[in-house]
């Protein structure tokens, strides 16, 4: 087939353009896949303190937040032993280090209704910050909204780390929320103690317990 010489430069330019578009599409797909597969929890961690970890979730608040930094082996061991002692479990069961590093920063922060900072925070704001930082999930704001967003867990024996636990401390409405840690313990922002860890078997919490639920983390 004879090709018009005057059209040849235009044909070559079209071939180059099409090839470039295909390469760009391939690059975009690869980058997209890498973003989806990027983990939110622990990277290259070996229990026993032989490795460090990085939290991949977006930072909340100060860029100097310790839970977003690389921890030394001794700090990992200390973190595991500290919270294993509180929860009454073996240190090897403390594997979600971004979660416990986050708790370590917030334990003791005072309660303030409507608060959302380390100057004072309420229960649902604390849960929202924890989920944003540890699980990369942007939760709704109030305890009642969080309750309605959950997939309900009807058997307390089936609770898992990260599930939400709800209470009716005043009347029939959901008024309080915390995050389950394990072995019947949960973390929450208490009106009297600020951010603290409590046991669900305590008479007070048993009396006001209203239910529990799992947040669809993969949809956050």
* Residues designated catalytic: 123, 176, 188
Q: What is the 3-state secondary structure (H, E, C) of the chain?
A: CCCCCCCHHHHHHHHHHHHHHHHHHHHHHHHHHHHHHCCCCCCCCCCCCCCCCCCCCCCCCCCCCHHHCCCCHHHHHHHHHHHHHHHCCCHHHCCCHHHHHHHHHHCCCCECCCCEECCEECHHHHHHHHHHHHHCCCCCCCHHHHHHHCEEECCHHHCCCCCEEEECCCCCCCCEEEEEEECCEEEEEECCCEEEEEECCCHHHHHHEEEEEECCHHHC
Token pair 């061991």 is found at 77
What tokens appear for 167 in the block? 């209470």
Whether residue 189 contacts residue 195, with contact meaning beta carbons closer than 8 Å, is answered with yes
Q: How would you label 54-73 residue by residue, b for 16+ Cβ within 10 Å and e otherwise?
A: bbebeeeeeeeeebbeebee
């Amino acid at each position: 087939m004879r090709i018009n010489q005057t059209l040849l430069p235009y044909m070559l330019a079209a071939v180059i353009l099409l090839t470039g578009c295909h390469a760009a599409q391939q690059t975009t797909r690869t980058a997209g896949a890498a973003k989806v597969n990027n983990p939110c929890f622990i990277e290259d961690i070996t229990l026993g303190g032989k490795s460090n970890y990085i939290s991949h979730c977006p930072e909340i608040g100060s860029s100097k937040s310790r839970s977003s930094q690389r921890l030394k082996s001794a700090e990992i061991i200390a973190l595991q032993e500290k919270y294993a002692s509180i929860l009454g479990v073996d240190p090897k069961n403390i594997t979600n280090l971004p979660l416990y590093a986050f708790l370590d920063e917030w334990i003791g922060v005072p309660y303030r209704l409507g608060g959302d900072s380390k100057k004072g925070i309420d229960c649902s704001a604390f849960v929202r910050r924890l989920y944003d930082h540890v699980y990369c999930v942007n939760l709704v704001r109030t305890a009642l909204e969080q309750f309605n967003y959950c997939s309900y867990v009807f058997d307390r024996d089936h609770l898992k780390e990260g599930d939400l636990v709800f209470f009716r401390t005043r009347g029939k409405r959901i008024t309080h929320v915390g995050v389950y840690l394990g072995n019947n313990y949960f973390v929450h922002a208490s009106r009297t103690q600020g951010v603290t860890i409590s046991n669900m078997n305590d008479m007070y919490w048993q009396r006001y317990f209203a239910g529990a639920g799992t947040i669809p983390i993969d949809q956050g």
